[in-house]
Structures are given as C-alpha cells and as structure tokens.
Amino acid sequence: MAWDDSGRGKDKDPWGTGGDQGPPDLDEALRKLQGQLSGIFGRGGGGGAKRSGGINLSVFGIAIAVLALGYGFWGLYQVDQQERGVVFRFGEVRDEVVLPGLHWNPPIIDRVERVNVTRVNDHEHQALMLTEDENIVDIGMTVQYVIDNPVDYLVKVKNPLVSIDHATESALRHVVGSSTMDLVITEGRAALGTEVQERLQNYLNVYETGILVSTVNIDESGPPQQVQEAFDDVQKAKEDEARYVNEANAYAEEIVPKARGDAQRQIEEASAYRDQVVARAEGEAERFSKLLEEYALARDVTRDRLYIDAIESVLSQSTKVMVDVEGGNNMLYLPLDRIARSSGLGGSDSANDIRQLVDDALSERLNTTRRRDSR
C-alpha cells in the first residue's frame, strides 16, 4: 500500500511517526512489539511490564526443561543381544564394553559404536601360489570369522578387513610355499586348511585385530586354466603308472608262488631220484656181493647162469635174432610172440597176420640165400 501525504496516510502509519517521513524509531517499535506480546499473554491492561517480566522467565524455564528432556532422551540407546557397545568420550575409548540392554550416555560428549560379536563373517580369497616343487597352483578359500574383541576391532587397526586380507595372503603363501603340488591339490587339502587357520590366527593376534577365525575352507585348488590340459595329461600318466605297477605286483604275486612250487617240486623229484639211484646202487652192490659169494662156491654154474641171464635180457628186447652157425648157413630166428606183442596183435583174430609175417620172413631168408649163392 502506497503512503501519501493525506491525513489518512498519517493515521495508518504503523510506526506512529505521524507525518514525519524520517526513518522509524527502532526502540519505539520494539516497545510496541513487547506491549503486544504482553497483551497476548497478560490478563489485563494494568501491570503489563511486571507481568511481561514474569512470563519471560517462565518461557525461558520451560524452554530449558524441554531442552533438558530432549537431551536426556537423545542419550538413550539400545544394544541388541548379539551386539556389544564401545563408548568413546571426547574421542578416547573407555575400557568397559556396553552389554546388551537399554543404556544412556551423554550425547555429544560420548559416542557409542555397536559391534555384532555373534555374526559369522565370510572373507573369500583367491590367489596364484608357488609350491615347494616350483609349480603354480590356483587356490580359492573362504575364511569364516567372528569379532571376539570389539575394542581392538574398532581401535587397534585402521581397517580390519584389509588386515585380514593381508594376513590371509601371507599365511596361505607360507603354507603352500612349503608344500608340494600333489599334496596341495589332493589329499593334503584338509591339513592345508588347518595349518592356514592356525597361522592366520597368530597373525591376527599379533596385529590385535580382535578377530577370531572359526573355520578356513579350501574351496578349490588346482593348476591354472592355461595349463589345465597339460596337468590332466600328467595326472593320466601317473594313473597309468600306478595301474601298471599294480598289474605287475599282481602278476608277481601270481607267478612267484607258482615258481616256488615248481622249484620245490623239482627239488623233491631230484631228491626222490637221488634216493632211487642210491638205493639201486646199494642193491646192485649188495647183489654183486652175494653173487661173488656164490661164484666162489660154484664158478662154472654161476658163469653159465650169468651168461644165460645176459642173453635173455638182450634177446628179450629184440624182434629179430641172427644165429651164427658154424660151418655156414646162418639162421634167422623170429620170436613171433614178441613180434605180435610189439605190433599190437593177439588172440585168434590175428592168426592170419602172424602167418603173413612168417611168410615175409621166409621170403626174405630165401632171397638172401639166393643172392649169396649167385656170388
């Protein structure tokens, strides 16, 4: 609303300066504002200044009470059952740990950090490692841990996650570097995880991280992808070697007892032959001794008897016998019974065969005689 020089404009001057167009009086304006506030909170027109002072004190007291109440509620906080609280007073940590429940600490002065001490945290680690036999293996592992000391966890290290990563790397490299590749990727994986866990916990205790390692799991361990095919070939060759060795051992277990049995059998046969020869020799010697005694008693009879036995022994093994007769015409003797037995003939059905043999023998004898006469 524009102000003009008319009387209406002067009456409506909110500053009460009348027709004076100078700057308004700030003290007067403040007094009017105070009067208006006193009229609002007061109960009458008289004693305004006195009531105004009392009301101002009451308002200030109420404000102070409200602020104090708000400050008190601001300092209340709840610590869950799985948590522990660490109190920092002006940035300095207090020794006691806040247990679960409802607590109060002065705001601004104290700062409370809550730490979950029951949740199992996972830290995965993947790295290429050099083994003792100068082979490279790719190992993936998972470290499961809980926060055992919340004060150390928050205060002693700047970044606990970075610390556990570095400690895991160091522990794993130390253990893998002192093991062979076959042990790392086959039957030694369980022992590898246990040894890494023990060494990792020692490192974390030295760093005072407040972390307790519960489990170390070796998820995978093997050669890098770039040499996987070559590694598979080596493993196949080792399996073939083991198979051939097992087959050789099985063959040895089969053939050795058999060879031992044959050797024992030959030894027994040789022993039996030795006993037989010795017994025969002893018997011949005993027979000769007795024969010598008989020969001393009757030489002619014994000599003839020996001659007859010798001739009988010789002729019994022959199928044809030539008899030298003095004065010529040697005679051929044919033992037909020996011929029949040696030829497999016998009985009444073989008569014709025997007759044929006799005819053949006579024919051969006649031809021999004619050839001799013709000469």
pLDDT score recorded for residue 158:
85
pLDDT of 9 > 50? The answer is: no
Poorest-confidence range of 3-17, 156-170, 185-199? 3-17
C-alpha to C-alpha distance for 47 and 28, rounded to whole angstroms: 19
92 CA to centre of own chain? 49
Specify the amino acid at residue 25: D
Phi, psi of 217 (to 5 degrees): -110, 125
Q: How confident is the model at residue 234 (pLDDT cuts 50, 70, 90)?
A: confident
pLDDT of 83 > 90? The answer is: no
Question: Across residues 287-293, what is the average pLDDT?
Answer: 84
Poorest-confidence range of 51-65, 208-222, 298-312? 51-65
Specify the amino acid at residue 121: N
The two tokens of residue 340 are 């029949």
pLDDT of 6 > 60? The answer is: no
18: left (phi over 0), alpha (psi -120 to 50) or beta: left
pLDDT score recorded for residue 302:
78
pLDDT score recorded for residue 89:
81
Average pLDDT, whole number, for the chain? 75
304 vs 138, which has greater pLDDT?
Answer: 138
pLDDT score recorded for residue 14:
45
Under a CB-based contact definition with an 8 Å cutoff, are residues 139 and 184 in contact? yes
Helices marked H in the chain — which ranges? Answer: 7-11, 26-41, 48-74, 150-155, 160-177, 181-185, 189-207, 228-297, 299-315, 336-343, 351-374
pLDDT of 246 > 50? The answer is: yes
From residue 142, how far is each of 191, 214, 217, 279, 337 by CA, in Å?
A: 15, 11, 5, 85, 102
C-alpha to C-alpha distance for 309 and 213, rounded to whole angstroms: 107
pLDDT of 91 > 60? The answer is: yes
Q: Write b or e for each residue in 187-196: b if 16 or more Cβ atoms lie within 10 A of its Cβ, otherwise e.
A: ebbeebbebb
Question: Strand 136-147 and strand 76-79: pairing?
Answer: unpaired
DSSP string of 271-283, one letter each residue: HHHHHHHHHHHHH
pLDDT score recorded for residue 269:
92
Specify the amino acid at residue 143: V
DSSP character at residue 41:
H
Q: Which of 16-30, 56-70, 234-248 has the highest mean pLDDT?
A: 234-248
C-alpha to C-alpha distance for 261 and 374, rounded to whole angstroms: 68
Under a CB-based contact definition with an 8 Å cutoff, are residues 208 and 156 in contact? yes
Specify the amino acid at residue 72: G
Q: What is the pLDDT of residues 174-215, one digit of tens each?
A: 998 888 888 888 777 888 888 999 999 999 999 888 899 999
C-alpha to C-alpha distance for 86 and 153, rounded to whole angstroms: 10
The two tokens of residue 327 are 């004065």
